[in-house]
Amino acid sequence: MKKNPNKAMSLSIIPGLGQYYNGQKLKAGIFLGAFVIFVIEMIFFGGAALKGLFTLGTVPMRDHSMFLMVKGTLQLLISVIFIMFYVLNLRDGRKVAQEINAGHEVPISFKEMYHSLGTNSFPYLLTMPAYLLMIFTIILPVLVTLFMAFTNYDFDHIPPAQLIDWVGLLNFKNMFFLSTYRATFGAVFSWTLIWTFCATTLQIVLGIFTAVVAHQDFIKFKRVFGIIFLLPWAVPAFVTILSFSNIFNDSAGAINVQVIPFLNKFFFMHLPQINWMTDPLWTKVALIMIQGWLGFPYIYVLVTGILQSISDDLYEAATIDGATALQKFKNITLPAIFSVAAPTFVTQYTFNFNNFSIIYLFNNGGPGDVGGGAGNSDILISWIYKLTTNSTPQYGLASAVTMIISVIVIGVSLLVFKKTNAFKMEG
Amino acid sequence: MAKQVHTKGKSSIKRTRFFKHFLTYFFMLFLSLIIIYPLLITVMTAFKNSDVVAFTLSFQGPWTLQNFTDLFKTTLYGKWYWNTLVISLATMVIQVAVVTLAGYTYSRYSFAGKKWSLTFFLVVQMVPTMAALTAFYVLGMLLNGLDHYWFLTLIYIGGGIPMNTWLMKGYFDTVPYDFDESAKLDGAGNFTIFWKIVMPLVKPMIAVQALWAFMGPFGDFMTARYLLREEANLTVAVGLQEFISDPKDQQVALFAAGAILIAVPICALFFYLQKYFVTGLTAGGSKG
C-alpha cells in the first residue's frame, strides 16, 4: 500500500501519529509516550523552571536564585533534547513512508522492532553513558557559568538571603572599562600570554633538543638516561612544584643557600642571593624554568618516537648530496616532527594557558598585588580562583573571565586544528 | 650525522668527533643533574630530623624514619591517602569503561549523527571545565554533593571523557577492519569481536588511559580544594600543601616524607606501563 510521505510527516506533528499511519504501532507508542512524558514534565516542573531561569526568583529566602538558575538550565537542556527528538520524529515519518513506497521492508512487529533496535541503536546505547556524563559534568556547568557571567552574583548578593539579578553585559563592561578592573585584567592577561608563550616554547625546544641529542648512535647508557629524562613526568607535578617552592625559598631554599654559593666558590662568580619569592620578576623566571623542567619529558618521548620512525635512507641521501648536519635537521628532522606532533604542541600551549597548579602552588600567584585580588604571577585561571575564594567573592566577574578564557582557548585550538588538518573527520 | 668528512685530515675528524661526543655527554649529564638534584633533596629531607629548616641537599645525618610514623600518627595523611585512592580507582574504572565503549563505537560503527557528534566531542574537549568552579559548587549544594566523593569523582570522570574518547577512537582505528570481518565470517558475534579480537590489540592504549585517569585525582588541586571542605575529607594533594602553606611554620621534613609516599608508587606504575604508552602516544597522536 502506498503512503503519502507529506501526510506522514504532518501527522507526526503529534509524535507517534505519523508512525501509526505508517503501520509501525510499537514505534508510534514509544514516540507518543515520550511526547506525553515531556508535556507532563513541562507542566509540573519545566514551565516553572524556565520561568525561574527568567526571573531568578522574586522572594528572598524562599527563592534561591542560583538553584533556580541550575534547574532552569537543566530544563533548557531537556527542551533542546526534546526538540531534537521532535525533528527526528518528523523526519522519521517522512522517511519511513518513502521507504514503504520504494518497497523496502520496515520493521513493524515487536520482534522485528526489537531486532532492528538491536542493530541500529546499538551505537547510541554504547555512547549513551559518555553523553550522560558529559551533559551533567561539562555542558550543564559551562552553561551555568555562561549565564552567571550576566548576573550580579557577588559577595553583596549571596542567595538565599539576597536575590540575584540579570545585569546584561555589566561584568564585561566593568572588566574592560572600569579603571581598577581594567588595569588588573590587562596586567594578568599580558602575563598569561607571556607565561604561556615562554614556558611552552621552552619545554618544546628543550624536549626536541634533548630527543635529537639523545638519539645519536654512539651514546652509551641510553636506558639510564632515558629513565632519568622521564622522571619529571613520572613524579606527580604537584609534588615537584611544592618541592620547588621550598627549593626557591628566599632564606632556606637550596638555590640561595647551596647552588649560588657553590657557583660563586667554584666558578669564581659573584652572584648575589636572589629574592625568588618576593621579587615579581624572579618569581616569573623561576616559574618558566620549572615548567620547562616539568614539561619537556612529554615532548622528548613523543619526538624520540618520531625520530625512530624516520628512515635512515633520507639522511644518507642527504649526506651524499653534501648537506650539513644543520641542513639535515632543518629539512628532514623538523618537518617530520611537526607533521606528527603539531597538534600536541598546540595542546601544550592551551594547557599552560590554564596551568593553575604551578602558579598557585609555587607562590600562590604572588608576590604583591596588581589590584582586583590578583598577584604579580597570577594568570587568568588562578585569578578566577582568587575571585571566587577571597573574602569578597565576585562570582559574576569570575564567570565573565572564564568565558573569555574559553573563547580564546577554543578559538585558537579550532583555528590551528583546521590549519594543520589534525583530527581528520574520517571513518 | 656526518661521519665521513673527506676533505679534512684524519686528526681533525677525530677532534670534531671528540668535541661532538664531549658536548653531547656534557649536555646529557648536566640535564640529568638538574633533574636529579631537586628530587634528591626531597628524598633526603624525608629522612632528616623533623626540625630541619633548610631545604638543601646534604648527606649528613642523623637519619630517621620519624617523619613517616609522624605522618600517620599525628596528621590525617593516612586518611587523605585513602580518600584519594578511592576517588582515583573509581575514576579509573568508570572512565576507562565509558571511554572504551564510546571510542569503539565511533571507530567501528557508522550511524546517523556520527560526524556531528564527533565534532561536538572535539569542541567540548577544549572547554576548560575546571574554570566552571562556581557552577560546580552550586550544583554540589543543590545535589548535596559537597564534601562527598561521588560528586568529585563524577566531575573527574566527565572532564576526561571527550579528549580520551578521541584518543581511544584514534587507537581503535589503527586495528585493521579485516580482523573484524574474518571473525564475523567465522561466526563471531558483536560482543566476541569486541572482547576477544579487538580488545587485546588496544591494551596499550587502555593501559595509558587507566594510568592517566588514576593519576588525575592525585594531581588535581583546584577542584578538590574548592569542593571538599572538611579536613578529614581532603585529597592528598590538598592535604600535603597544608604542611608548607604557612610560611612561619613550614614542616619541610614532614612534607618530604608525604611527597615520597605519593611519588614512589606512581613512578613505579609509570615506568611499568611506560613501553605501552610510548606506542599509544605516537599512534594516537599521528592518526588522531
Q: Which residue has the cell 642527504?
A: A318
What are the pLDDT digits (tens) for A340-354?
888 788 889 988 998
What are the pLDDT digits (tens) for B204-234?
888 888 988 998 888 888 888 888 888 888 9
**Are A144 and B162 in contact (CB < 8 Å)?**
no
Number of domains chain A is built from: 2
pLDDT at A114 over 90: no
Angstrom distance (rounded) from CA A146 to CA B20: 56
Phi, psi of A322 (to 5 degrees): 85, 25
**Are A257 and B39 in contact (CB < 8 Å)?**
no
Q: Do A186 and A213 share a domain, yes or no? A: yes
C-alpha cell at B186: 567465522
List the single range of A97-106, A110-119, A132-141 with lowest mean pLDDT.
Answer: A110-119
pLDDT, position B286: 41
**Domain range for A25:** 5-168
Whether A324 is covered by a domain: the verdict is yes
Angstrom distance (rounded) from CA B224 to CA A292: 26
The last residue of one of the domains, among A168, A187, A222, is A168
pLDDT, position A427: 33
* Closest CA–CA distance from residue A382 to any residue of chain B (Å): 9
Whether A427 is covered by a domain: the verdict is no
DSSP string of chain B? Answer: -----TTS-HHHHHHHHHHHHHHHHHHHHHHHHHHHHHHHHHHHHHTS-TT---B---------SHHHHHHHHHSSHHHHHHHHHHHHHHHHHHHHHHHHHHHHHHHH---TTHHHHHHHHHHHTTS-GGG-HHHHHHHHHHTT-TT-HHHHHHHHHHHHHHHHHHHHHHHHHTS-HHHHHHHHHTT--HHHIIIIIIHHHTHHHHHHHHHHHHHHHHH--HHHHHH--SGGG--HHHHHHHHHHSTTS--HHHHHHHHHHHHHHHHHHHHHHHHHHHHHHHHHHHH-
Q: Using CB atoms, pick whichever of A126, A134, A235 lies closest to residue B101.
A: A126
pTM of the model: 0.85
Q: Which amino acid is at B86?
A: V
Instruction: Give A281's pLDDT tier (boundaries 50, 70, 90).
Output: very high
Q: Do A316 and A266 share a domain, yes or no? A: yes
CATH code for the domain in which residue A283 is found: 1.10.3720.10
pLDDT, position B8: 52
Q: Using CB atoms, pick whichever of A141, A238, A399 lies closest to residue B221.
A: A238
**Are B42 and A243 in contact (CB < 8 Å)?**
yes
Of the candidates A144, A34, A149, the one whose C-alpha atom is nearest the C-alpha of residue B137 is A144
- List the single best residue of A71, A239, A241 to mutate versus B (max B Cβ within 10 A): A239
DSSP A390: S
Whether A425 is covered by a domain: the verdict is no
- In this prediction, residues A69-87 reach a mean pLDDT of 92
pLDDT at B279 over 70: no
Which chain B positions have a beta carbon within 8 Å of A329's beta carbon?
none
What are the pLDDT digits (tens) for A188-225?
999 999 999 999 999 999 999 999 999 888 888 888 99
**Are A405 and B131 in contact (CB < 8 Å)?**
yes
- In this prediction, residues A39-59 reach a mean pLDDT of 88
Q: Do A236 and A104 share a domain, yes or no? A: no
List the single range of A255-264, A327-336, B48-57 with lowest mean pLDDT.
Answer: B48-57
Q: Do A155 and A252 share a domain, yes or no? A: no
- In this prediction, residues A289-318 reach a mean pLDDT of 90
Angstrom distance (rounded) from CA B212 to CA B10: 52
Whether A426 is covered by a domain: the verdict is no
Instruction: Give B284's pLDDT tier (boundaries 50, 70, 90).
Output: very low
Phi, psi of B235 (to 5 degrees): -90, 170
Residue B263 CA, distance from chain mean position? 11
List the single range of A287-296, A354-363, A391-400, B166-175 with lowest mean pLDDT.
Answer: B166-175
Which chain A positions have a beta carbon within 8 Å of B129's beta carbon?
137-138, 141-142
User: Cα B182–B183–B188 angle (5° rounding)?
Assistant: 145
Whether A281 is covered by a domain: the verdict is yes
pLDDT, position A290: 96
pLDDT at A125 over 70: yes
pLDDT, position A79: 93
- What is the ipTM score, two decimals? 0.84
**Are A399 and B118 in contact (CB < 8 Å)?**
no
Which chain A positions have a beta carbon within 8 Å of B32's beta carbon?
225, 228-229
pLDDT, position B2: 47
| Mean pLDDT, all residues of chain B | 84
**Are A237 and B135 in contact (CB < 8 Å)?**
no
**Are A410 and B126 in contact (CB < 8 Å)?**
yes
**Are A361 and B42 in contact (CB < 8 Å)?**
no
Q: Which amino acid is at B84?
A: T
Q: Do A126 and A245 share a domain, yes or no? A: no
Whether A392 is covered by a domain: the verdict is yes
* Closest CA–CA distance from residue B231 to any residue of chain A (Å): 17
Query: Which is more confident, B82 or A109?
Result: B82
Strand, helix or coil at A319? helix
Give me the residue spans of the domains in chain B. Answer: 10-66, 72-287
CATH of domain B72-287: 1.10.3720.10
Instruction: Give A72's pLDDT tier (boundaries 50, 70, 90).
Output: very high
Which chain B positions have a beta carbon within 8 Å of A233's beta carbon?
270
User: Cα A226–A228–A231 angle (5° rounding)?
Assistant: 110
Q: Do A181 and A305 share a domain, yes or no? A: yes
List the single range of A4-8, A151-155, A188-192, B8-12 with lowest mean pLDDT.
Answer: B8-12
**Are B135 and A253 in contact (CB < 8 Å)?**
no
Which chain A positions have a beta carbon within 8 Å of B25's beta carbon?
219
Angstrom distance (rounded) from CA A109 to CA A115: 10
Whether A150 is covered by a domain: the verdict is yes
pLDDT at B82 over 90: yes
pLDDT at B285 over 60: no
C-alpha cell at A296: 619537556
Residue of chain A with shortest Cα separation from B268: A234
Q: Do A164 and A229 share a domain, yes or no? A: no
**Are A343 and B128 in contact (CB < 8 Å)?**
no
Angstrom distance (rounded) from CA B285 to CA A340: 7
Q: Do A236 and A363 share a domain, yes or no? A: yes
Of the candidates B151, B138, B131, B230, the one whose C-alpha atom is nearest the C-alpha of residue A159 is B138
Q: Do A273 and A140 share a domain, yes or no? A: no
Looking at chain A, the whole-number percentage of residues with pLDDT higher than 70 is 95
